Chains A and B, each alone.
Chain A
Amino acid sequence: MSGSKPDILWAPHQVDRFVVCDSELSLYHVESTVNSELKAGSLRLSEDSAATLLSINSETPYMKCVAWYLSYDPECLLAVGQANGRVVLTSLGQDHNSKFRDLIGKEFVPKHARQCNTLAWNPVDNNWLAAGLDKHRADFSVLIWDICSKYTPDIVPMEKVRLSVGETETSLLVTKPLYELGQNDACLSLCWLPRDQKLLLAGMHRNLAIFDLRNTSQKMFVNTKAVQGVTVDPYFHDRVASFYEGQVAIWDLRKFEKPVLTLTEQPKPLTKVAWCPTRTGLLATLTRDSNIIRLYDMQHTPTPIGDETEPTIIERSVQPCDNYIASFAWHPTSQNRMIVVTPNRTMSDFTVFERISLAWSPITSLMWACGRHLYECAEEENDNSLEKDIATKMRLRALSRYGLDTEQVWRNHILAGNEDPQLKSLWYTLHFMKQYTEDMDQKSPGNKGSLVYAGIKSIVKSSLGMVESSRHNWSGLDKQSDIQNLNEERILALQLCGWIKKGTDVDVGPFLNSLVQEGEWERAAAVALFNLDIRRAIQILNEGASSGKGDLNLNVVAMALSGYTDEKNSLWREMCGTLRLQLNNPYLCIMFAFLTSEAGSYDGVLYENKVAVRDRVAFACKFLSDSQLNRYIEKLTNEMKEAGNLEGILLTGLTKDGVDLMESYVDRTGDVQTASYCMLQGSPLDVLKDERVQYWIENYRNLLDAWRFWHKRAEFDIHRSKLDPSSKPLAQVFVSCNFCGKSISYSCSTVPHQGRGFSQYGVSGSPTKSKVTSCPGCRKPLPRCALCLINMGTPVSSCPGGSKSDEKVDLSKDKKLAQFNNWFTWCHNCRHGGHAGHMLSWFRDHAECPVSACTCKCMQLDTTGNLVPAETVQP
């Protein structure tokens, strides 16, 4: 310690103070900096604490070891062991006024000078201080001093001398120890045993010894090399740790012959070992030249007897700082907190946390365990500060019947929350596809209907023959532009894009009106412009500016538009060409790009990524020649596939290309719900049979099951089977007659039983069927209900056991269930059963089977069966 390596100690009682000692003693005060700024002059210890230097004491040179006085008063009294074997009491400022002022400066001198290795205050008798010294011939190496040693014979004269001469140095010398132990030996470490205040454990030269002060002639000892740093577990008083080189030995004092345990050896010699004072069985160790503190968590209290009591040790390491650690100290009261000091006296304060294990539940709540405690953490409802995770989104969408609106297909994006532009585009695309497929089928059945779902890419490719372009007049301008003549395929493409409505009419008027209504002024103006109606475009912009909801700048844009001139080198062109790049709205931007472009080159419009794909594609259909269009669509499709952008479904349709696109969408978002519903919207069977599509569907069904949305899952299955009849499960259960072995339901229905449930006998159809109480095959009677003892197949009374007065009320209540009440149910364990309604009402009050002497607990056999579907619990 007199060298470079500092040591560190927490004050035993004033828990916000600690001392760092190397060549001098420095007292620090720790403050929390959670709610305050770092004060000038304080040192940062951790993110939320800092230390301020209170005082420095450099009066005691050659320090070898330091121990803090354990009593409350005086608080800042320390014993310092020196290289010459003297022990000096010193203090750090503050309590010079206290009644213990006499103690300060007191020195305890051994007979022969040698190094003092260790000091230990007695925890009960606070005035006793044990000092461990190096060996000197046959002298004692363990000296126990009483710091208030009144019986020192020369204390009175000394006092006199001090008062008169003021020679404090010599006057406070104490030379007579209370006890002298460990003759002809060296003492390396000491600790008092909490079992009894008179027991002292000492690490001697080659053994561990327990001295009993009641009988100093005797000692208990065990030969070992592990004699350094003896320390008692504060929670288990018979457990002691000591070390030698890189190895820690754990001893049980009741079985002192050999260590109960040695910990895995460290490559470097240990320098400090300390039990955590705030938690059982946690031992911290430090080796030389290391920035790691290794922790050993001993899980069970070891017992000296029994052979299978190998304690579980969880080994951990913490790295409080990047530098090597010179020393560390556990905080006496704060949970698992310690402070470390490095050789250059930087300090850091940290807490060793219990290891936390955690798990997500399927409904996005997180459970974690820390120490012995559990914490549940759930996502708070109605919170918009964070974008919801897809898991939460899918759950909410499943509840809102997302994907199941097959009439107004576009409405699905509203069900999805109306927040995602890609989903909006997707469902509008699917809506138009459905609409025009029906349209086509009506016109020419079996012709081009399937083509619509194949997307614009296929539609455009299928177009035969060249499309001529022709010059069209701008309305309201003396200008002409080349526009492609629209053939059937291009009209269909424009329809899918939503620009024109059903029928042969190619008027964009209705589309513009709907855009204006939704307040999409810029987009409406751009569409108007692309249809060569600059007057309408300006009019829409004015309308937008005056509506109050739109941007007032739209007027300025309208003004700029009206200044349009066809002249190539005009100032207008020049300015628009440069200024358009500063426009924030992509639609305004492409309007000027269009007006300033050279004839036939529309890259400024076509590759403006912020413009919706459908508008760009519609634009391309209007202005690009066949080869250009094909190339452009091809390029855009690949781009969309790469990005997993759902707007691209417009191009790919529900084809293999579409599956590729959806695959990158699922890879990106995990949204199997949209993927499943989209593919089930109208894909041809070979696409639906794609392994990836089947896998998405399977995963989505699994999610619904995990959330206990069984009704939703069933609805999904029904929806699915409409498109993919092969996904219908076969009938799983038949009830066969005891006598002839034929299925009793077989002959009941004329069609083969598709069986969505089980044992659906006598449920539907004509009243004559419900009266059948015997097997339709062999005419033998069916089994009897265990409760009403009537043969199955008989319609049941509405409520068994109910009195007549109740009957009417129950009749209305049970009306919905009346058919189910007729069902034939039985327990798979005891094979007893009866009418479903009777059985259910029996098990409402009973645990055991209604059949006499049958102790089967039919209803409790299946735990999943007792779970309630989550939809019914939802508000």
Chain B
Amino acid sequence: MFVARSIAADHKDLIHDVSFDFHGRRMATCSSDQSVKVWDKSESGEWHCTASWKTHSGSVWRVTWAHPEFGQVLASCSFDRTAAVWEEIVGESNDKLRGQSHWVKRTTLVDSRTSVTDVKFAPKHMGLMLATCSADGIVRIYEAPDVMNLSQWSLQHEISCKLSCSCISWNPSSSRAHAPMIAVGSDDSSPNAMAKVQIFEYNENTRKYAKAETLLTVTDPVHDIAFAPNLGRSFHILAIATKDVRIFTLKPVRKELTSSGGPTKFEIHIVAQFDNHNSQVWRVSWNITGTVLASSGDDGCVRLWKGNSSVEELLLYVDTLEFSLRNVNSEIF
């Protein structure tokens, strides 16, 4: 059973994103109040806010942690058309004694002409890289060539998606058999039947990202997208939050069979489609092994989906738990 408890977040407006660091001991939240807060977990399991600062001049949509081997680094993106990279430093004052830490802005990425809707660090084996996507439909991939100098970020790739982008997800696989890959979702709501999820793969020969796949069956606005931690599987799992929860598997067709050099071909299967939220699905998130998916929807529920391994069918997902926020929700504000 899962039990929920409330934490006083003290944000002055809606919280848009929550993100854990690699170890799960630190957490960052961002809000329409234009601030980011960093939380540290004490040994007793309580969360304490150790930093809170104004990051942008607009709603902050997303916040994300870099792998700790690059230091304590956060990236945020905002309606103010920018993304920013933040680093924790040991302050001159006795911040530590007051239980507060100090974060400085290392860079502002200003290439977007519209709201930056998502930001994600690449898997660590690729080095210190991050991707942003914006409402004008462009995915930008930046790299910090010198990990000691976080103020230098060079724009490596610009991928045009033609549709307003709402979310991105890196394929976390570090296997040498899998080329770097990024999936992009669009929340474009105009009544066209265009596919809303595109997958781009890095091509070693051309040194460019090229479209590898388009999920043609997803034509409704997509609000969130998440690759599952790969964990040694021979295929990738992608969860999509649209008008329902969908889970796809992408199995690379063995390289020998395809002509080398071209983009990897995938066998794509939809393994699950749940409309239990009965409304727009807002977020999806995988646990560390990619075996339990959490989703939230406009019905005010958080639902968990778990692969049922006792059934012969590979990755059959069953609804195991759901939390209704109806009662909680009426008390707040």
Contacts and interface: CB of A to CB of B under 8 A. Distances in A.
Interface string A661-693: 001001111101001000000000000000110
Interface stretch (A78-86, A220-228, A381-389, A618-626): A381-389
A698 B173 CA distance: 11
Interface in B285-329: 285-292, 294, 296-300, 302, 304, 306, 309, 312, 314-315, 320-321, 323, 325-326, 328-329
Contact of A857 (B90, B232, B333): B90
Contact of B280 (A317, A374, A864): A317
A355 B283 CA distance: 9
Given A356-B283, A360-B287, A691-B177, A667 B18 contact: no
Contacts of A383: 1
A363 interface: yes
A353 B298 contact: yes
A184 interface: no
Interface string A632-669: 00000000000100000000000000000001001111
Interface stretch (A364-372, A497-505, A557-565): A364-372
Contact of B232 (A364, A692, A864): A692
Interface string B41-80: 0010001000000000111000000001001100000010
B15 A372 contact: yes
Contacts of A354: 14, 300, 329
A767 B175 CA distance: 48
Nearest to B19: A359
A847 B96 contact: yes
B17 A351 contact: no
Interface stretch (B2-10, B126-134, B152-160, B194-202): B2-10
Contacts of A359: 17-20, 27, 285
Interface string B1-43: 1111111111111111111101111010101100000000001
Contact of A356 (B43, B68, B282): B282
A157 B239 CA distance: 77
Contacts of B72: 863
B314 A667 contact: yes
A335 B300 CA distance: 12
A691 B255 CA distance: 14
Contacts of B292: 360, 364, 389, 391
A373 B332 contact: yes
Given A356-B302, A376-B47, A370 B329 contact: yes
A378 interface: yes
A385 B321 CA distance: 12
B20 A362 contact: yes
B288 A675 contact: no
A691 B12 CA distance: 50
Contact of B14 (A299, A367, A386): A299
A703 interface: yes
A669 B328 CA distance: 35
Contact of B17 (A279, A357, A695, A873): A357
Interface of B is mostly: loop
Task: Give the most central of A370, A705, A708: most B CB within 10 Å.
Answer: A370
Band of interface residues on B: 35 or more
Given A361-B20, A369-B9, A668 B314 contact: yes
Contact of B4 (A300, A376, A666): A376
A706 B27 contact: no
B203 interface: no
Contacts of A356: 282-283, 296-297, 300, 302, 325
Contacts of B233: 666-667, 670
A364 B329 CA distance: 24
Contact of A316 (B231, B280, B306): B280
Interface residues of A, number: 84
A43 B2 CA distance: 34
Contacts of B107: none
B20 A312 contact: no
B100 interface: no
A851 interface: no
A538 interface: no
Contact of A363 (B24, B59, B298, B302): B24
A372 B9 contact: yes
A366 B298 contact: no
A385 to B, nearest CB: 6
B259 interface: no
B8 to A, nearest CB: 8
A308 interface: yes
B330 interface: yes
Given A312-B59, A372-B333, A672-B231, A391 B291 contact: yes
A310 to B, nearest CB: 8
B4 A364 contact: no
Please name the 5 residue pairs, one residue from A and one from B, whose CB atoms are nearest each other, closest first: A353-B300, A361-B24, A356-B296, A369-B15, A377-B4
11 contacts: A318-B280, A351-B300, A358-B296, A374-B9, A378-B2, A390-B291, A663-B234, A667-B233, A670-B290, A708-B25, A873-B43
Interface of A: 48, 278-279, 297, 299-300, 308, 312, 314-319, 334-336, 351-380, 383, 385-386, 389-391, 394, 643, 663, 666-670, 672, 675, 691-692, 695-696, 698-700, 703, 705-708, 847, 857, 860-861, 863-864, 867-868, 873
Given A300-B32, A314-B59, A383-B1, 16 more contacts: A317-B280, A334-B330, A351-B326, A355-B283, A356-B302, A360-B285, A366-B285, A370-B332, A374-B29, A390-B289, A390-B309, A668-B315, A670-B290, A691-B177, A692-B232, A706-B24
Interface of B: 1-20, 22-25, 27, 29, 31-32, 43, 47, 57-59, 68, 71-72, 79, 88, 90, 94, 96, 174-177, 189, 230-235, 279-280, 282-283, 285-292, 294, 296-300, 302, 304, 306, 309, 312, 314-315, 320-321, 323, 325-326, 328-330, 332-333
